[in-house]
């Protein structure tokens, strides 16, 4: 797999899809872009929280569970990060994510939504999470994007912008 250096992404030309944002220290960070940033509404916090529980549960029980390092939402609420060890391509992650989203669409509850298992157990919205999952699956199947447009941003001498 080609090594991609840390770079800054132009969010004004960013379509929903799956992108590699970092490859370092043996880990690959996949950006699962669910919505088009700043052009359509971001995922609502409760729906994103449910998606985190469901997606993490699916990936951590899947055939690739031993290589899953981290699953968590982007602070901007437009997507999810999945950090993997091992060799995975964007195409591999596309197939896995489609399976994951199909499983989410079949669920009738969100796992681990008690005060003992979640830091904000009332902040969940399964119907809206499934609405987002259905649309994202559709996009992964029929309107897939995986090439980031890069942008040079300099903050201060010797400092680079990072959002993850
Ligand atoms: Zn939680």
Other Cβ atoms within 10 Å of 52 Cβ, number: 18
Instruction: Calculate mean pLDDT across residues 52-72.
Output: 97
Instruction: Calculate mean pLDDT across residues 80-100.
Output: 97
- Spacing, Cα 46 to ligand 1 middle (Å): 10
Which alpha helices (DSSP H) does 19-125 contain, by range?
45-59, 90-105
- Spacing, Cα 73 to ligand 1 middle (Å): 11
Domains of the chain from N-terminus onward: 5-161 (3.30.1360.80)
- Spacing, Cα 142 to ligand 1 middle (Å): 31
pTM over 0.85: yes
Q: Which pLDDT score is estimated for 154?
A: 61
Taking CA atoms, 68 is separated from 22, 23, 51, 55, 80, in Å, by 15, 14, 16, 11, 14
Q: Which pLDDT score is estimated for 11?
A: 79
- Spacing, Cα 68 to ligand 1 middle (Å): 18
């Amino acid at each position: 797999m080609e090594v991609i250096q840390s770079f800054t992404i132009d969010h004004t030309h960013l379509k929903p899809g799956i992108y590699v944002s970092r490859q370092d220290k043996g880990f690959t960070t996949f950006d699962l872009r669910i919505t088009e940033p700043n052009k359509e509404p971001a995922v609502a916090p409760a729906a994103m929280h449910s998606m985190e529980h469901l997606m993490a549960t699916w990936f951590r029980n899947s055939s690739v569970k031993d290589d899953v390092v981290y699953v968590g939402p982007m602070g901007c609420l437009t997507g999810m990060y999945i950090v993997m060890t091992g060799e995975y391509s964007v195409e591999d992650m596309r197939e896995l994510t489609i399976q994951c989203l199909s499983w989410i669409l079949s669920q009738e509850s969100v796992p681990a939504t008690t005060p003992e298992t979640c830091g904000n157990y009332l902040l969940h919205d399964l119907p809206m999470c499934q609405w987002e999952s259905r649309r994202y699956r559709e996009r992964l199947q029929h309107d897939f994007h995986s090439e980031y447009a890069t942008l040079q941003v300099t903050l201060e001498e010797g400092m680079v912008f990072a959002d993850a």
